Structure 1
């Protein structure tokens, strides 16, 4: 009979407690917490394995042992909690094989892997399986309440079947065998796909629902070993180093992305600009919210923000853009129909007493593009038609030079480099801290 190099077994522990399943998600919280860090390490080490396979055709044995351990740990916790509810035995905190536990997972170590297949199997070739596994493991009920979407996560087909099994267990004390076989088969499918996506085998997962607790029989060599037939074992210090290193590497990547975003935010004109926004009013003016610059902090803010630019463009008529102290602007617009951004509706009134350009209240003004250096005071921007007429329609963008952005970008990228070096160092140390257990030869 054809076998697959991923072996998933499960034994239904009977009798099961009628009500323990209600609190199992709480009891499993320590596992979920630790697995969050272990899965970060899993992702980072799988990326390392990707390049190792690409250049050497081999999956590093110490990485294979760790990733297999994370999958084993996850499968045991899944089986205990709402992935199956197949046992009341608390899962061990271990990456190692636990033959006595009712849920086991083994993956045959591949001596050689395809260098070309590694480029496509984890994303392109696995897409059909991803669709099926998504149906098995994820799904939600969505309802709408006054325009607000409310969802209930049901955990896909597996989650629904396990809930049915839990209710049956509550009232009868028995776990329906047919449901158990079906749930185990779906979990087996998902674990096969996980191993394939993690590059741990080149054997394509079968489109076959192998139900029941026992996997297909056949020759199987599950445990990774070194060149002297020793079994690779990760110690607590190795696991801690790999997990912390992975967190640092992922943090470095996130920091680097942020630094790159800062570097790309500045345009060729030297400004960091907001998106262009269209603003309209049927009144005679559009004003910004008041912003206050305190005198003690004005120098710092000026160094931080630099030069501010407000650009307003209209299609059919010239515009006026100005900045003035709030009290002066309020006095000018007293009794004038105008709107304040964000739009709150036009305040009632009539036309302005004079066109805006005649006024002497402006700290800076322009016919479309205004630049201003931050000064202490209470300020507000205004956009009007140049002739003071009604109906303002403009495309507006606000920008600033942000002189400190270069230093911030450099600091962010430097921090990313430091985090990456520290993380890589811990990962290398963690892989070197593994122990190799040699089998004892019979006398």
Structure 2
């Protein structure tokens, strides 16, 4: 977690409750100056696995939609699988070109990995509105337009598990990651303020994904929460268990 954004507990929504999609990240260090140049190649095994997983995610979301319309509930096994796909993709994105926040190779698992520097949790909803699931994609259009600027219109699926891995994505987020990589190459350090902003952009994106994927009825806030720590700091199985590393660590060796 970057020291430039201290944690201050607060309510995330006008209802006074934390938003149920929680994204955490911890800036690792020291980071290699040059490893980011080949991470596109290193994540190919993950991409090959994530492609069918995302196909399953889409199909199971449709099944969940039907179940919610008839029962008002998101089947728990489907929810857990889809949450696992989001967790896996966020870890890969954090390692690669969504953030370049760690050199620790992401594990091949749908489960929570508490020790990994990137984590994601979504609170399971006991009940969901039966009719709202049919129009969430429409209600999310304002967010999707903003995300199109942030991420160059590539979308989260392609950004995390496809196009971005090969082309740096686009938009503001891709530009900030590229600037961070160049700074890292020349100084051996990852800019703390840039890290906070990059994670904030990704946090916004993950909240919208959780909403559009029918995993919550709570409308995402139009707010950029900076920094690696989730602003509400809820307990969860994917919370990091080790102390955060400062981005002010001594420069890494010039080699990979």
TM-score range, shorter chain: 0.7 to 0.9
Q: Tell me if structure 1 keeps the 8 A contact 2:112–2:237.
A: no
Residue 178 to residue 218, structure 1, CA distance change in 2 (3 Å): closer
2:146 pairs, out of 125, 132, 139, with: 132
The root-mean-square deviation of aligned C-alpha atoms, in Å, is: 1.6
Q: Matches of 2:168 and 2:99 in 1, distance apart?
A: 16
- The residue aligned with 1:200 is 215
1:90-129 alignment to 2 at 5 Å? 90-121=105-136, 123-129=137-143
Q: Matches of 1:93 and 1:219 in 2, distance apart?
A: 25
- Which digits, 9 at most, give the CA deviation of each residue in 1:109-152, with x for residues without a partner? 0000000111111x110000111111111269xxxxxxxxxxx7
- The gaps in structure 2 that reach 5 residues or longer are 1-9, 12-17, 155-166, 239-256
Residue 63 to residue 166, structure 1, CA distance change in 2 (3 Å): same
1:87-236 alignment to 2 at 5 Å? 87-121=102-136, 123-138=137-152, 154-217=169-232
Residue 36 to residue 154, structure 1, CA distance change in 2 (3 Å): closer
- The gaps in structure 1 that reach 5 residues or longer are 141-151, 224-443
TM-score, reference length from structure 1: 0.46
TM-score, reference length from structure 2: 0.79
Structure of higher CA gyration radius: 1
Whether 1:36 aligns to 2:64 is no
1:51 pairs, out of 60, 63, 66, with: 66
- Report the CA distance between 1:18 and its aligned residue: 0.3
Q: Tell me if structure 2 keeps the 8 A contact 1:8–1:105.
A: yes
- Which digits, 9 at most, give the CA deviation of each residue in 1:147-167, with x for residues without a partner? xxxxx7652211100000000
Q: Matches of 1:222 and 1:49 in 2, distance apart?
A: 23
2:30 pairs, out of 15, 34, 45, with: 15
Residue 179 to residue 219, structure 1, CA distance change in 2 (3 Å): closer
- Which digits, 9 at most, give the CA deviation of each residue in 1:8-50, with x for residues without a partner? 0000001100000000010000001110000000000000000
Q: Matches of 1:139 and 1:154 in 2, distance apart?
A: 9
Bigger proportion of residues as helix: 2
Q: Tell me if structure 1 keeps the 8 A contact 2:211–2:220.
A: yes
2:91 pairs, out of 72, 76, 85, with: 76
Q: Matches of 1:218 and 1:204 in 2, distance apart?
A: 19
- Which digits, 9 at most, give the CA deviation of each residue in 1:191-221, with x for residues without a partner? 0000100000001000000000001225567
Give the length in aligned residue pairs.
211
Q: Matches of 1:169 and 1:57 in 2, distance apart?
A: 48
Q: Matches of 1:209 and 1:21 in 2, distance apart?
A: 26
